[in-house]
Amino acid sequence: MADERTRYFRQLGRLRRSARRWSVLAGGLGGATAVLTPYAGLGLPDAAWAGAAGSALALAAWRWIDLRALAARPAPPALDPAEAAARSRARLVAAVERLPVGSGVLAEVRRVRGRVALRGTTAGQQWARLDRASLTLAGMAPRLTGLAEPAVLEAAAADRSLRELANRVASVERALRLAPTDARTPLADAHAALNAQLESGVAAYERLVVAAAGYLAEDARPEPTHPAADRLTEATDLLHGVASALAELRAGGAGLRAPTR
């Protein structure tokens, strides 16, 4: 969406073009009316020409009045370049999200950008582990329904929290490189504590992903024998029994029909 200043000048240009068009049309119709009107009086066609000329003249006057009123208002101030860039970026993101694969593309871009931002820090390794685990969980998420659905929601919240913690660890680590000697020890202790918290959180997230995979494996594990297979086995045994009985009956009948000497 355009900013207020852009909309103002766009509306001003539209009014100016409209006023000029109606002025030209009113002048043309007025000239045609003056030339085509007979000296003997106005007929019905001449009245139509005169009415059209008067209407065009009135519309042209209204457009010029609106143009002067809008031009008398001060133009809205220009946007700050940073704010304009942020709005342009937001419009681009919204346009990409409307595409069929837009959400996936944006998620991948954010992951790559976050990994690049943490490159060279100890948090970068934890970020890569978290990326692998979150991608694995995302592939299983559509099948984690029912009792497992709250765990998926909790994992999404934990993912956001751990990524924020990773950025904090990286910021402290960069500040640690610039810190003077007397301030290095407390900052190093804080960095170690945050890094340990990040590592334990990523490990817990990985355990959750493993548990989710185990849940899916148990949920999809087939029974030792399918009920249909049991029924087919019973039917097969029944047919074997019937066939054996028929064979015995046939053998007995043949013995009875055999000629005696």
Q: Domain for residue 156, yes or no?
A: yes
| Domain count of the fold of the chain | 2
Q: Is residue 124 located within the same domain as residue 206? A: yes
Q: What does the block give as tokens for 139?
A: 């592939």
Q: Is residue 122 located within the same domain as residue 214? A: yes
Sign of CA dihedral 86, 88, 90, 92: negative
Q: Domain for residue 32, yes or no?
A: yes
> Does residue 129 contact residue 90 with C-beta atoms inside 8 Å?
no
Q: Is residue 138 located within the same domain as residue 216? A: yes
Q: Is residue 203 located within the same domain as residue 144? A: yes
Question: In the listed set 34, 54, 72, which residue is the last one of a domain according to the structure?
Answer: 72
CA 161 – CA 207 distance, rounded (Å): 17
Q: Domain for residue 250, yes or no?
A: no
Q: Tell me the pLDDT tens digit for each residue of 107-147.
A: 666 677 776 777 778 888 888 888 888 888 888 888 887 77
Q: Give the residue among 116, 149, 147, 146 at the shortest CA–CA distance from 131.
A: 116
Q: Domain for residue 178, yes or no?
A: yes
Residues 58-86 have a mean pLDDT of: 79
Q: Tell me the pLDDT tens digit for each residue of 21-40.
A: 888 888 888 877 777 666 55
Q: Domain for residue 62, yes or no?
A: yes
Cα dist from 10 to 67, 74, 77, 140, 209, whole Å: 12, 14, 15, 50, 54
Q: Is residue 197 located within the same domain as residue 142? A: yes
Q: Domain for residue 257, yes or no?
A: no
What residue numbers bound the domain in which 173 lies? 118-220
Cα dist from 244 to 134, 230, 250, 253, 255, whole Å: 61, 21, 10, 14, 17
Q: Is residue 130 located within the same domain as residue 41? A: no
Contacts of residue 92, defined as CB under 8 A and 6 or more positions apart, other chains included, come to: none
Which H or E element spans position 108?
A: helix 102-117
> Does residue 127 contact residue 116 with C-beta atoms inside 8 Å?
no
Q: Tell me the pLDDT tens digit for each residue of 172-181.
A: 888 888 878 8
Q: What's the pLDDT at 197?
A: 92
CA 223 – CA 88 distance, rounded (Å): 56
Q: Domain for residue 190, yes or no?
A: yes
For the question of whether the overall pTM of this predicted structure is more than 0.75, the answer is no
CA 76 – CA 4 distance, rounded (Å): 6
